[in-house]
Amino acid sequence: VPTLKNIDERVLRRISGCLKPREFDDNSIIIEKGKPLGMMVFIVDGLVSIEKRDGSSSSNDNLQQPTRGAGEVCGEVLLRWPLSVLYLRDVLLLATESAKAIGHVEALVLKASDLRGVVKMDYFAGMICRTLSANELEKATDNYQQSRIIREYEDATFYKVEVLRQTNFCLR
């Protein structure tokens, strides 16, 4: 899972401790596009149909239905939730795709509520850190304007920025 490559090992261990086995029957809707994303699914056995539309129309002509199997993930976008402003407001991200079981599916599930318990500000801030020059920091924060502060913690301040192709970032 590409998103997991950048996560601190301590966080990965805590996430793995929250994974719960779950089985889905044939044609069970696992994730529904446009609905709040309450879980991420690691497929252990079976196949899952991923339903996406290419956006050109609502007809079935542009419906894409690739499958995912053992070792693959559905709902990976959930891992980006702690990096969004929605997380601070306790609002779930919306699913970007639908996932439906093809036959019997065994999976490990990470629920959003469990992810909230795992994530601490100092952990997920580390997922997006990079070294910036003093000039880049001043430009990105509009010279550290108070109006751009999203949230402050003991050792970190989160600013709203657009300059760095990221919506938010943390200064320590």
What confidence score (pLDDT) does residue 62 get?
47
What confidence score (pLDDT) does residue 1 get?
65
What confidence score (pLDDT) does residue 145 get?
86
Asked whether residue 46 is assigned to any structural domain, the reply reads yes
What confidence score (pLDDT) does residue 132 get?
63
What confidence score (pLDDT) does residue 55 get?
43
Q: 133 and 79 share a domain? A: no
CB distance 107 to 22 below 8 Å: yes
What confidence score (pLDDT) does residue 21 get?
97
Q: 51 and 75 share a domain? A: yes
Q: What do you get for the CA distance between the two ends of the chain, in Å? A: 28
CATH number at residue 34: 2.60.120.10
Nearest to 95 by CA among 114, 115, 80, 117: 80
The residue to which tokens 């880049």 are assigned: 136
What's the average pLDDT block by block, 10 residues per block, for the chain (172 residues)?
Answer: 70 86 96 93 95 50 73 88 74 90 96 80 47 75 84 74 49 46
Q: 28 and 109 share a domain? A: yes
Q: 134 and 57 share a domain? A: no
Q: 156 lies in which domain range?
A: 128-171
What confidence score (pLDDT) does residue 15 get?
84
Rg of the chain taking only CA atoms, in angstroms: 19
Q: 84 and 109 share a domain? A: yes
Nearest to 85 by CA among 160, 142, 6: 160
Q: 20 and 93 share a domain? A: yes
Number of domains in the chain: 2
Question: Cβ atoms within 10 A of the Cβ of 23, count?
Answer: 13
What confidence score (pLDDT) does residue 63 get?
52
